[in-house]
Amino acid sequence: MSRKNLRSKLNNVRQIFDSFDKTTFDNVSFKLLDELEVIRQKLKNHLIRMEVVLIVSFILFYELINNYEYILSNCITEIKVAALTGFILCCIYFIYKKSKIGVKSIPFYMYCLTVLVFCLLLFPVFIMTFIYELKLCSFFMMIIIGWIIFLPIELISTFRATMQNTKTEIFRKFRNLNYNPENALFSDNELIKTEIFANFDTDPVETPSQNINPIKIDDTFDGHYKNVDFRIEEVDLLKTIKVGFWINDRSFYFYPIYCGISIFKGVIISFKFNKKINGKTIFRTNLDMFTRNNVIAPYVKIILGYLSIIILSLCGLAYGSFPIKFIASIILTIITYSLIGFIIFFIPSVVRDFKRYKKQDNADMKKVTLEGVEWEKRYKAFSTNQTDARYLLTPLFMQKFLNLTTAFGTKKAKCTLYQDKITIAISTNKNLFEFGTLFTPIDGDKFYEELASILDMIEYFKLNEHTGL
């Protein structure tokens, strides 16, 4: 898609702002997002400073270990002069700050810095003490490497926790939304009955070596818009497939090894539909086989994965150099072992899944002809009631649906209209409903664009009106 067409579609979505109270959202979020941006800048600057200090320290330690004999024999005087100069400069800086600002006492960290600089005068003594204990120097180097790796993770986690608190406050003030991070709003049985997902698992897998949760929840919130209930949940649905087995040395027991296959990753949106819907209608992106509780789709995905890795490994063995051939042979051995285990467990797993989903509501559906050749190429619709389906799937509905996917930056989406609910599933690998990251500026417009596109669907269906079809 060209930039011009994408900009045009985004402008169409932004026109939704005219229908909702964007001013209220800005007034609610303005101060909170500004505070969050200040915190983000402080954490980002702190991270950059600390990473530079740690990397420089690591380089100095490394050079110290490799060149300690030269340093001890030639650089003692230079080190003393540099340390003394730094100490004098710090004293001058303290005197300047005291006279310029008029502070009565020097901050504690300034004292610490002065002591540190003064201790550098004894640097040669420290070298003599530590340089012959290379294990101790290596230990310090490992600590520095650990901090270089751990510090970004710790600061990102701190920022995310702060942003979660900010989101909770903004959601509460704006239309009284209930923000429930990592709290499931959809039951397993409800997701299965929608029939817009392929076969996924609901029970966690726990073995001596693995712990897999097949339903991973991120952001969830619910609320009301024009007296209509809606729920929104970011989720990752997995199918856990046995791909091998291993032996427990203590009890001589073979336990399976599982692989988690992603069936759906994105956001699920559900509205309370206050009109009578006869039958069930599913509207999905073309060529999407991960729908209608498809039992075979997860296994097809993993078989294609096996085949691609095997082909790449064989190409490496045939045309690669010695290191590549060695790595390819190891990968091929592991994949072959895993494939044998997968084949052993394949038939029992498929039979079990068929029995499980046979009990669910898998009504016979027929294809619905959509209005317009372009829509037929991009989307497919199935329904148990052709009359209701044609009434609901109008060109305007499909355009609203397209606006929704455009706002979320994806082309893969599907929905089901069943009983008294509209359930929409939008596939995306992006982290939705975020105001930014530690490395990107805070901006509330993207969040509001995502939320406004959802509320626009309620506007279109007039879900607050209790009328029949």
pLDDT, tens digit, for every residue of 135-170? 556 666 777 777 888 888 888 888 888 888 888 888
Average pLDDT score over residue span 53-76: 73
Closest listed residue to residue 455, CA positions, set 309, 327, 269, 299: 269
How many Å apart are CA 93 and CA 202, to the nearest integer?
63
306: pLDDT strictly greater than 70:
yes
Residue 466: C-alpha distances to residues 7, 276, 281, 384 (Å): 37, 9, 20, 23
Q: Which of 193, 170, 364, 441 is nearest to 293 (CA)?
A: 193
* Average pLDDT along the chain: 77
Per-residue pLDDT for 419 more than 90? no
In one letter, which amino acid is 214? P
Query: In angstroms, what CA-CA distances link 42 with 53, 107, 113, 158, 366?
Result: 16, 20, 21, 12, 58
Report the pLDDT value the prediction gives residue 124, as an integer from 0 to 100: 54
Say how many C-beta atoms besides its own lie within 10 A of residue 383's C-beta.
24
Tokens 């608190």, located at residue: 165
Close Cβ partners of 404 (under 8 Å, ≥ 6 residues apart): 413, 424, 426, 453, 454, 456, 457
Residue 2 has pLDDT above 90, yes or no: no
Q: How confident is the model at residue 121 (pLDDT cuts 50, 70, 90)?
A: low
Rounded to whole angstroms, the Cα distance separating 380 from 414 reads 9
Model confidence at 424, pLDDT cuts 50, 70, 90, reads: very high
31-35, 94-98, 185-189, 456-460: the lowest-pLDDT one: 94-98
Q: Write out pLDDT tens, residues 318-371.
A: 888 888 888 899 999 888 888 888 888 888 888 888 877 765 555 578 888 887
Q: Identify the pLDDT of residue 17.
A: 40
Span 197-206, pLDDT tens digits: 998 998 888 8
371: left (phi over 0), alpha (psi -120 to 50) or beta: beta
**What is d(CA 419, CA 362) in angstroms, rounded to the nearest whole number?**
14
Q: What whole-number distance in Å separates Cα of residue 192 and Cα of residue 196?
A: 8
pLDDT of residue 189: 87
* Per-residue tokens: 350: 């498929």
> What pLDDT is stored for residue 414 in this prediction?
92
Residue 463 has a CB neighbour count (10 Å cut-off) of 21
Least confident of 192-196, 224-228, 319-323: 224-228
Residue 239 has a pLDDT of: 92
- CA atoms of 147 and 400, how far apart (whole Å): 49
SS3 for 58-99 is HHHHHHHHHCHHHHHHHCHHHHHHHHHHHHHHHHHHHHHHHH
What average pLDDT score do residues 11-22 get? 47
Q: What residue has token string 């509209």?
A: 422
177 or 418, greater pLDDT: 418
Q: For residue 383, which amino acid is it?
A: S
Would you state the pLDDT for residue 361?
52
